[in-house]
Amino acid sequence: MHHAIKTAERTLEVTIPGDVLSTNAEQIRSEILALFESDAVKTASWDTLRLDLTAAKMVDSVGLNLIVSLYKEAHKRRAKAIAVISNPNIQRTFLFTRLDKHLQVIMK
CA distance 92 to 50: 19
Task: Flag whether pLDDT at 71 surpasses 90.
Answer: yes
pLDDT digits (tens, 9 = 90+) for 34-66: 999 999 999 999 999 999 999 999 999 999 999
CA nearest neighbour of 91 among 48, 62, 59:
59
pLDDT of amino acid 1 = 80
Q: Is pLDDT of 67 > 90?
A: yes
Average pLDDT of span 82-105? 96
**CATH code of the domain covering residue 46:** 3.30.750.24
Residue-by-residue DSSP string for 26-54: HHHHHHHHHHHHSHHHHHS---EEEEE-T
Q: What is the pLDDT, as a whole number, of residue 108?
A: 93
DSSP-assigned beta bridge partners for residue 20: 59
Q: Over the stretch 17-42, which tens digit does the pLDDT of each residue have? A: 999 999 999 999 999 999 999 999 99
Nearest to 70 by CA among 20, 108, 9, 23: 20
Evaluate whether 82 touches 106 at the Cβ level (below 8 Å).
yes
Global pTM reads 0.94
pLDDT value of residue 91? 97
Name the residue range of residue 84's domain.
Answer: 2-107
Mean pLDDT of the chain: 95
Phi-psi region of 10 (alpha: psi -120 to 50; beta: other; left: phi over 0): left
Domain count for the chain: 1
